Structure 1
C-alpha cells in the first residue's frame, strides 16, 4: 500500500515545517512527514525549507547568518496571529518518539554546503534511536553518499528535478535504497522498473487527484503531499480492491 508523507507537515492547512503542521499530519493519519533541515550560525539544526527566512517567517536574511536565539524569535506562522517558532530537529525527534511515523529529512545543502551537517543529523538520529524510521534525502548527491558512508544503516534517497535514465542503476551505484523524483519527470514504466528492482519511489509534491490516482494505481512506495487528508480519502478506494 502506498504510504502518504505530509510535505513539510500538513502544509496545505498549517504553517509549513512547524510542530503544529507535524502534529496535524499525525492526527490526519499520515504514514510519515517530510521536513527540511539547515544549520544556524552557531550550529543548531533547525527545520526550515528556504535558505532565506523571508517567505515563511516574520524576518529577513539567510538562516546560516542567524544565531539560534535570534532565529527563535521569528514567527514561522505568517498567515495567523498565533505565533509558531521555527522548530529544532531535536524537538521534532522528541515528538517522533511519541508515535510510529516515518520521517523524510531533506538536507538543504545543495546551495550552501553546511559543513558537518550530515554528522550532526546522523548523531541525533542515533541518539533518539530512529535509524529505522528516517530517510535522508538531498539534491546534493555527494551529501547522500557521505551519509551512507557515515551511517549505512540509515536509508538514503537522492532527490531529482529532471528525469534520469535507469534510476535504479544510479541508486544502486550510490547505495541509495530509494529515489524521490519530481512526479512529472518520471513515466509510469520507469517507476515500475525502479520498484521491480527493489528501489523505493516516493515522488513529490503530489497535490492533484489525477496524479494521486496515477501513483496509487502503480502502487508507488509513497507519495509526498501537502494535503494528507485528500490523499488518505483517495487511497481508501484502492484499499477496498482485492
Structure 2
C-alpha cells in the first residue's frame, strides 16, 4: 500500500510549510497523510515548527506562545486544519532538554483526545522519545526516523523488538531487500522526502 504524505503539509504550494494554509492545502490536494514537527514553548504550548529556533535566532523553548509569529500554529490548530487526514507527528529532539518530558506527555494526551477513527503516527530521530511515547500509551503507533544507512538495519531490529510499527528512513538509503525484511517483520516503511515522480514509482515498485 502506498500513501501520499504531505511533508509539513502542502509545503511546495504553501512555503515554508508547517502552517495552517499548508495543512488545509494537503486536504484540498488529496494527500493521505500530513507530516508535521512539534516543539514546546516555555509556557507549555505545543507549536508546529521545523527548527528549534526562529529565523531571528530566538529559541522556541525560551519563548512564550504569545511571543511567536502568528503564522506558527499550535499542534491542536494544525490537527484541526488537516482533519480528517492521518497525521505523522514528529517530536523534535533538538529543543530545550528540560521541556522534553512535558512535550512527550502533552503530545500523547492531545492525540488521545482525538477521535479514535483518526490515524496517527508519532516519530522522532531520538528513538528514546518513541520508547517513552509507547510507555505512556502502548496503543499509540510509533515509528523510528533514520537518515543513516549504517544504522538502518539495527534500527529496524529495534523497532521490531520494542513494538514500534514503522521505520521512516531517508529515501536514498532504502533498498528493496530492506523493505522486504521490514514487511516480513510487520514494520511499515515510510520514506522521506520524495518529490520526483520517477523516484516515487521506483520506490513503490
Normalised by the length of structure 1, the TM-score is 0.78
| TM superposition shift of 1:150 | 0.5
Encode CA deviations 1:132-179: one digit per residue, 9 max, x unaligned.
511000001011000011011110001001122265422112210000
- Aligned with 1:119: secondary structure? helix
- Of 154, 158, 182, 2:140 maps to 154
Normalised by the length of structure 2, the TM-score is 0.91
Q: Partners of 1:41 and 1:131 in 2: how far apart?
A: 32
Q: Partners of 1:118 and 1:112 in 2: how far apart?
A: 13
- Of 160, 169, 181, 2:169 maps to 181
Encode CA deviations 1:90-116: one digit per residue, 9 max, x unaligned.
1123335xx431100000124543231
Equivalent position of 1:13 in the other structure: 13
Unaligned runs of 5+ in 1: 76-84, 218-242
| TM superposition shift of 1:195 | 1.5
Equivalent position of 1:210 in the other structure: 198
Question: Which structure has the greater CA radius of gyration?
Answer: 1
Contact 1:156/1:177, CA 8 A, preserved across alignment: yes
Superposed, 1:6-155 pairs within 5 Å as 6-15=6-15, 16-54=17-55, 59-71=56-68, 74=69, 85-96=71-82, 99-110=83-94, 112-113=96-97, 114-130=100-116, 132-155=118-141
Q: Partners of 1:112 and 1:196 in 2: how far apart?
A: 38
Contact 2:87/2:119, CA 8 A, preserved across alignment: yes
- Aligned with 2:101: secondary structure? coil
What is the aligned-residue RMSD (CA, Å)? 1.7
Equivalent position of 1:234 in the other structure: none
Paired residues, what number?
200
Bigger fraction of residues in helix: 2
| TM superposition shift of 1:130 | 4.8
Q: Partners of 2:155 and 2:132 in 1: how far apart?
A: 19
| TM superposition shift of 1:47 | 0.3
**Structure 1 residue runs of 4 or more that deviate by more than 6 Å after TM superposition:** none
Unaligned runs of 5+ in 2: none
Pair 1:194-2:178 in alignment: no
